[in-house]
Amino acid sequence: MATKRKMVPPLAVSLYHDLDVGSTVTEKSESSNTSDVGADSSCSMQKKSRNDGAISEGSCKTDDDGAVSKLVSVCGWRKGERQDMQDAHVRLDQFGLTAIRNIQRSAFYAIFDGHAGRRAADFVAERLPSRLKRKLEAYSDLASLESGIKKCFIDIYKQIDEQFLVEARRTRPSWKDGTTATTILLINNIIYCANIGDSKAVVCRSKSGTEEAKDVAMQLTVDHSPLHFEERMRIQKAGGNVKDGRIMGILEVSRSIGDGQFKAYGLICTPDVKKFSITKDDIFVLIACDGLWKTFSNQQAVDYIMTKMRQLTKPGVEEESETREMNWQNVADDLAAESVKRGCGDNVSVIIVVLNDSQDNLIIKS
């Protein structure tokens, strides 16, 4: 996240529900710990070291109990022109919340786009999933969980931010690292999306079976830029300023975890939390760091993925699940590579969570 950007438009009207803290959401379809020792191993992540940078990753076999069947997630990434990979990601196709009454399926996905180093992104990726899971497991049923889910996200983001800043200030010289966070919790046929910064999550809703085939990109996240009026007012009220679209002329996001030197100037870690009901026409969720969005609009990214998948899908041929997953993996890799090819010099990380890749959605009917 190094290049300067042009002015951004006002926030778009949401196509989904904002969750209020403590309010009960109708179902349609503590104190901070310093260690994760004792976290439930059923949702533990395996860290996968790569020559170009460590990316946190967890994957489990999925079952067919939930409202969203045949769930598949894949990831693609490129370093771009950067020397290091500073992104981290998490994929947990099984999040282990089925002991809670009325939950048949749960999954968790996240991208953390680090800057000024990768320590913040790794710190959050290693801790947030297990801590969120422990908080959610305190609820006995889905209805009570939904009433407090926004507060769970806000509390966890705050706890992890505070703990990282303690670690950052303890070192000499102190760490300057920070990270965005886009986290997706999928329960039954509902997506709960919490985010800070400029990494986005976008749902692709397809209308392939209609005469006018169209794939619609619907953004779940809120872009947190110092150029947005409310964000800028908060920064200025705290004694900071916005220069060239950045806090103090340096940081180009108005919410992040870490970045301790900017916390006194109005930088916060409070996520926006959204709720989205999945339909049979929703094909996938795309989660990506800002490296992708420097070269693709929401709609362009969705169109690129769908075009590639339709080229790989043969009408009337029932493919094995392994073949379909390989196709999605190839598309994720192609998308990240294409972003770099189009001139993105930043790290690029993308996760595609497949919701419904039936032929009815992928084949354009003549």
pLDDT at 329 over 50: yes
| Residue 108 covered by a domain | yes
Report the CATH number at residue 305.
3.60.40.10
Is 130 part of a structural domain of the chain?
Answer: yes
Question: pTM of the prediction?
Answer: 0.82
143, part of any domain = yes
Model confidence at 77: pLDDT above 70: yes
Residue 116 covered by a domain: yes
Q: Is residue 131 part of a domain?
A: yes
- Count of structural domains, the chain: 1
Residue 169's SS3 state is helix
Q: Does residue 162 belong to any structural domain of this protein?
A: yes
In this structure, is residue 80 part of a structural domain?
yes
Q: Is 171 within the bounds of a domain?
A: yes
* Residue range 7-62, pLDDT digits in tens: 333 333 334 455 543 332 323 333 333 333 233 333 334 333 333 333 333 333 33
Give the tens place of pLDDT for each residue, 161-170. Answer: 999 999 999 9
* DSSP-assigned letters across all residues of 86-132: -EEEEEES----TTSBT---EEEEEEEEEESSSHHHHHHHHHHHHHH
Tell me which residue range forms the domain holding 254. Answer: 17-22+46-60+70-356
User: Would you tell me the crossing angle of helices 321-341 and 298-312 to the nearest 10 degrees?
Assistant: 140
